[in-house]
Amino acid sequence: MKVAFACDHAGFSLKEAIVARIESLGHECLDLGAHEFDADDDYPDFARYIGQAIQHGQADRGVLCCGSGVGASVAANKIKGVRAAVCHDTYSAAQGVEHDDMNVICIGGRIIGIALVDKLVEAFLGATFSGEERHIRRLEKVKAIEAAGEYKS
């Protein structure tokens, strides 16, 4: 699987561990930065890089880090085709893919440590969308919201 990675300054401390974990699981990692620590960089830029990589088929999934994971998630979810969530537990990291077809995990570099990062990345990348009728139905509703800008039942 091709996995894009990006982080701002607040997620930079986890970068090496995340990239190494992605690669150790046998996946190709597309490193979209930050390539050096810059206290003035902004998470929406990195969310856009991940989103564009997914939109253009350069990546199947993405791992995005900022301070809490929240800002990155908010920004990433503005990009068509991206389904991102903050996950700081392995259940959510896997279940988000299995039930919701989540394609970007957002992680808070100021919230979790390296040991948990390994387990989160493994759970996220090891999960697959279930394809169950109820999950497909819900995913189609999510896509309809995205397409129309509002919910229509």
* CB neighbourhood size of 111 (10 A): 15
Taking only Cα atoms into account, the Rg of the chain, rounded to an integer number of angstroms, comes to 15
Q: Which residues are catalytic?
A: 66, 99
CA 28 vs CA 5, 21, 38, 42, 144: distances in Å: 10, 11, 25, 25, 31
